[in-house]
Amino acid sequence: MRAFHHSGKFLIFLLVFALAVPLFTLRLGAQDEGWQILRADYGFRDARTDVTDILRDLISRGGVNGRVAVNNQTMGGDPAVGRDKSLHILARNRRGEQREFEFREGSFVDVGLFAVRRDDWDDRSHDRDRGDQDRDRRESVSLIRGFYGVQGRTANVTERLRSMMREGQLSVNVNNATMGGDPAPGADKVLIVIYRFQGEEQATAVREGNRLTIP
């Protein structure tokens, strides 16, 4: 009876090991692919918003505990109120192969799946990160990053927006004058802001000609 008990434990161990190895290998294989995000959009059917820059930025900073939540707060707004939305990602690996990823609203993106390089103009350092943490304790809103323009033609307006904050809040009209110039003449631009509020990272997108107010 005792021999059967021990052999049963051994069989269970083998079963768990057999299941775990393929999953572990699959995860490492996905990371080795180094999927580069080409395009990402969030929404429902035709009501979708381009969130490529938002997603790249969140992933480049490691998300929260290695994951990025798929919801209206992190994706910059609700493009289809009352609908079950999804995040669609088109990515390419080192061999030039393309693949599509789909994540439902309420799920999480594992940042280990994707390889995102920080932009050259992302000059935040570890000292800045520590400063942001200290500032979180003093202010209700901590501005992480802001960029203004259209996909592929954006300007880093992080420091400009930080200088506009008053008593932990930010309220500004979104136009070329307040953003310090026009990074994409003739195009309808968008201001995207990623910030931390009450310990959670959020994002918001405001079209040119409208007003940004956070929180």
pLDDT, tens digit, 9 for 90 and up, residues 110-146: 988 887 655 433 444 444 455 555 554 444 688 888 8
Same domain flag for 207 and 142: yes
Cα of first residue to Cα of last residue in the chain, in angstroms, is 66
- Asked whether residue 130 is assigned to any structural domain, the reply reads yes
Max Cα–Cα distance, the chain, nearest Å: 82
Same domain flag for 147 and 206: yes
pLDDT range class, residue 42, cuts 50, 70, 90:
very high
How many angstroms from the chain centroid is the CA of residue 164?
24
Is the pTM higher than 0.85? The answer reads no
Residues 6+ apart with CB under 8 A from 166: none
What pLDDT is recorded for position 94? 86
pLDDT range class, residue 166, cuts 50, 70, 90:
confident
Same domain flag for 132 and 208: yes
Same domain flag for 46 and 98: yes
Three-state secondary structure string covering 176-205: CCCCCCCCCCCCCCEEEEEEEECCEEEEEE
Domain coverage including residue 24: 1-31
Same domain flag for 96 and 161: no
Instruction: Give the Cα separation of 192 and 8 in Å (integer).
Output: 57
Q: Which structure tokens are listed for 45?
A: 């059917």
